[in-house]
């Protein structure tokens, strides 16, 4: 699974895969609402969940990118395939959420080949996680910490 977060576009996307043991990189400020962009470069939809954060889906938009594949190691030293995005370019019109997706969420589907933009309100200080709710992805540490500061 390849997820890119924040104001990362074009050639600014890191060429490394960030794994669970790496330092926390997402540090939203307490009381702020941030727009996160989550790119799904896989062939599957991923239900992304942010712990103790409510968000609204703003829109989804198709994109193209070059995926530079990287091999990761999980806690059991199993190899998993990840990647970094290069040359990210949106294409087509952004579309708003479906009617059933209106309102506050803590989990939303990220569809293949789309960037999903969410507006997340960070109103609780502390360290939490965000991850894909597919159980095997959780088991292989496909999750990241975020720290509300």
In a domain, 109, yes or no: yes
- Considering just the CA atoms, what is the radius of gyration of the chain in Å? 15
Predicted confidence (pLDDT) per residue in 75-132, tens digit: 666 666 667 788 899 999 999 999 999 999 999 999 999 999 999 999 999 999 999 8
Q: How many domains does one find in the chain?
A: 1
**Domain housing 78:** 27-148
Question: What's the CATH number where 31 sits?
Answer: 2.60.40.420
Predicted confidence (pLDDT) per residue in 133-146, tens digit: 888 777 666 788 99
- Its pTM stands at 0.80
In a domain, 130, yes or no: yes
**E-strand stretches of the chain:** 33-39, 46-50, 54-73, 79-90, 107-110, 114-121, 126-132, 143-148
In a domain, 71, yes or no: yes
- Name every residue whose Cβ is closer than 8 Å to that of residue 52 and which is 6 or more positions away in sequence: 106, 124, 126, 128
The dihedral built from the CA positions of residue 64, 91, 11 and 18, taken in this order, carries a sign that is negative
């Amino acid at each position: 699974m390849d997820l890119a977060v924040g104001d990362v576009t074009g050639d600014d996307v890191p060429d490394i895969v960030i794994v669970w043991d790496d330092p926390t990189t997402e540090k939203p400020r307490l009381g702020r609402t941030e727009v996160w962009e989550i790119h799904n470069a896989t062939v599957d939809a991923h239900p992304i969940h942010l712990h103790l954060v409510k968000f609204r889906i703003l829109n989804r938009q198709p994109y193209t990118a070059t995926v530079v594949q990287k091999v990761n190691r999980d806690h059991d030293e199993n190899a998993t395939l990840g990647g970094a995005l290069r040359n990210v370019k949106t294409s087509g019109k952004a579309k708003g959420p479906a009617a059933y997706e209106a309102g506050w969420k803590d989990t939303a589907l990220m569809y293949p080949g789309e960037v999903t933009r969410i507006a997340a309100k960070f109103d609780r200080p502390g360290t939490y996680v965000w991850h894909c709710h597919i159980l095997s992805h959780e088991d292989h540490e496909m999750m990241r910490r975020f720290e509300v500061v």
